[in-house]
Amino acid sequence: MPEPWLKISVAVLLAGAAACRTPPRASEPHTERLSGCFRRIYGDGPPTSGAGRVWYTLTTDRGATTQLEVSPALLAGAGGPSLLDGSRVSVLLAPTRDSSDARAPTMQVREIRREPATAGAPC
Q: Tell me the pLDDT tens digit for each residue of 64-102.
A: 999 999 999 999 999 999 999 999 999 998 865 555 555
Question: Mean per-residue pLDDT for 7-31?
Answer: 56
Q: What is the pTM of this model?
A: 0.64
Rounded distance, CA 57 to CA 105, Å?
12
Nearest to 75 by CA among 40, 116, 106, 24: 40
Pick from 16-20, 63-67, 70-74, 106-110: least confident? 16-20
- CATH value of 4-118 in 2.40.128.130, 2.40.50.140, 3.40.30.10, 3.40.462.40: 2.40.50.140
- The residue extents of the domains of the chain are 4-118
Asked whether 122 and 109 are in contact (CB, 8 A), the reply is no
Element (H, E) at 4: helix 4-19
pLDDT above 70 as % of the chain: 67
Element (H, E) at 53: strand 52-59
